[in-house]
């Protein structure tokens, strides 16, 4: 198992380098300019100076190599300096966002907590809703519960979040006035009142995303359960006289979870990626909102760095899902 993991990790290095180059070229050759938001009243010569100050006038490969150096050497070392109080990277140019002129990694650091809390909670809520629904729907296939579950799942699947989110805002914020429409990032949870406030402002984005997540996962859970319910070993278990509870929750569930765990693990990078639409809609300043803002502003260093981090996460969680298989299914061994 260890050699397998190591081999996969080593293989990931050329893969990621290739990905980083492709992303860089794609973003660079995409149309748009970092100055398109600047009013037309700023004359061309001033624009040219601004471009030069950003370093955006350098040739592509120079900027790519600089970015590689910054990403793999300067940024980790800066973090090292921060942890151990050293100053190896003093005066070195970190990856700076063109739009805000701040270091990209500080922006990510500022935003990651919001994304993890809101999107992570929504994912967790989605899983917690989806698993019982999926299990019971499969166990009582074609019952009213199953039909209702299917309906909800179809709604969750097919209604886009920009619609369901706006609907929630109109119902719960405009009509009922229960929840705020804009997420307050400066809120610090220090006591019950502020904790309650935090729950209130998280309610709508979590509901919006939770529904979408639950829909997908409950479908996987249901179909995986159905596949296993008709297996011979289930019949054997029942014939042995095991209780229905043991049969379903021990034998069937454990086997059915294998594909579902893969789906859940592969979905985790998307938590870090944030939710572009939902974050924008509710003013959650997460990674997704940062990404779309950077794309609009043609903020190449920001887009490049974020996209590459997503790539790393996806490669990583694919590996984790593979390793998890080994634990869930004793038949699977990689050595």
Point out which residues bind other proteins (CB under 8 A): 31-33, 35-54, 93, 96-97, 99-103, 106-107, 110-111, 169, 173-174, 177, 180-182, 184-186, 280-281, 283, 285, 289-290, 293, 296, 298
Identity of the residue, 157 or 163, whose beta carbon is nearer to other proteins in the bound complex: 163
In sign, the C-alpha dihedral spanning 31, 33, 37, 40 is negative
Q: Helix (H) and strand (E) counts for the chain?
A: 14, 0
Identity of the residue, 53 or 151, whose beta carbon is nearer to other proteins in the bound complex: 53
Q: How far is the CB of 191 from other proteins (least distance, A)?
A: 19
Identity of the residue, 111 or 222, whose beta carbon is nearer to other proteins in the bound complex: 111
Region of 80 (left: φ > 0; alpha: ψ -120 to 50; beta: rest) is alpha
Q: How far is the CB of 206 from other proteins (least distance, A)?
A: 18
Residues 6+ apart with CB under 8 A from 98: 34, 54, 56, 297, 298, 299, 300, 301, 302
State the DSSP H helix or E strand holding residue 55, giving kind and residue range, or none if neither.
none
Identity of the residue, 99 or 255, whose beta carbon is nearer to other proteins in the bound complex: 99
Q: Whole-angstrom Cα distance, residue 54 to residue 24?
A: 17
- 202-228 burial, b at 16+ Cβ within 10 Å, e below that, comes to bbbbbbbbbbbbbbbbbbbbbbbbbeb
Q: How far is the CB of 242 from other proteins (least distance, A)?
A: 55
Q: How far is the CB of 298 from other proteins (least distance, A)?
A: 6
Q: Whole-angstrom Cα distance, residue 193 to residue 108?
A: 28
Eight-state DSSP code of residue 58: S
Identity of the residue, 105 or 139, whose beta carbon is nearer to other proteins in the bound complex: 105
Identity of the residue, 3 or 41, whose beta carbon is nearer to other proteins in the bound complex: 41
Identity of the residue, 104 or 248, whose beta carbon is nearer to other proteins in the bound complex: 104
Contact in structure between 260 and 220 (CB atoms under 8 Å): yes
Q: How far is the CB of 260 from other proteins (least distance, A)?
A: 35
Q: How far is the CB of 219 from other proteins (least distance, A)?
A: 31
Residues 6+ apart with CB under 8 A from 16: 308, 311, 312, 315
Q: What is the CA radius of gyration of the chain?
A: 24
Q: How far is the CB of 201 from other proteins (least distance, A)?
A: 10
């Amino acid at each position: 198992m260890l050699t397998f993991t190591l081999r996969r990790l080593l293989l990931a290095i050329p893969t990621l380098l290739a990905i980083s180059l492709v992303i860089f070229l794609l973003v660079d050759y995409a149309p748009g300019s970092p100055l398109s938001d600047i009013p037309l009243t700023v004359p061309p010569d001033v624009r040219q100076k601004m471009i030069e100050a950003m370093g955006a006038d350098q040739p592509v490969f120079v900027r790519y190599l600089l970015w590689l150096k910054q990403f793999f050497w300067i940024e980790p070392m800066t973090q090292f300096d921060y942890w151990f109080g050293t100053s190896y990277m003093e005066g070195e140019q970190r990856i700076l966002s063109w739009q805000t002129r701040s270091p990209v990694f500080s922006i990510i650091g500022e935003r990651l907590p919001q994304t993890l809390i809101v999107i992570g909670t929504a994912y967790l809520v989605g899983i917690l809703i989806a698993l019982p629904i999926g299990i019971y729907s499969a166990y009582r296939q074609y019952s009213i519960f199953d039909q209702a579950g299917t309906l909800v799942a179809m709604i969750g699947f097919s209604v886009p979040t920009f619609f369901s989110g706006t609907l929630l805002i109109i119902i719960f914020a405009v009509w009922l006035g229960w929840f705020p429409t804009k997420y307050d990032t400066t809120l610090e949870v220090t006591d019950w009142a502020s904790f309650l406030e935090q729950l209130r402002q998280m309610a709508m984005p979590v509901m919006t995303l939770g529904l979408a997540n639950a829909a997908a996962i409950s479908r996987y859970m249901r179909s995986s359960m159905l596949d296993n319910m008709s297996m011979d070993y289930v019949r054997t278990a029942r014939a042995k006289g095991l209780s229905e509870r043991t049969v379903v929750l021990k034998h069937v569930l454990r086997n059915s979870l294998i594909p579902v765990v893969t789906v859940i693990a592969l979905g985790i990078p998307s938590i870090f990626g944030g939710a572009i639409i939902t974050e924008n809609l509710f003013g959650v300043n997460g990674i997704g909102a940062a990404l779309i803002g950077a794309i609009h502003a043609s903020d190449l260093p920001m887009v490049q760095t974020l996209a590459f981090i997503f790539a790393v996460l996806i490669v990583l969680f694919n590996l984790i899902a593979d390793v998890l298989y080994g634990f869930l299914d004793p038949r699977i061994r990689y050595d």
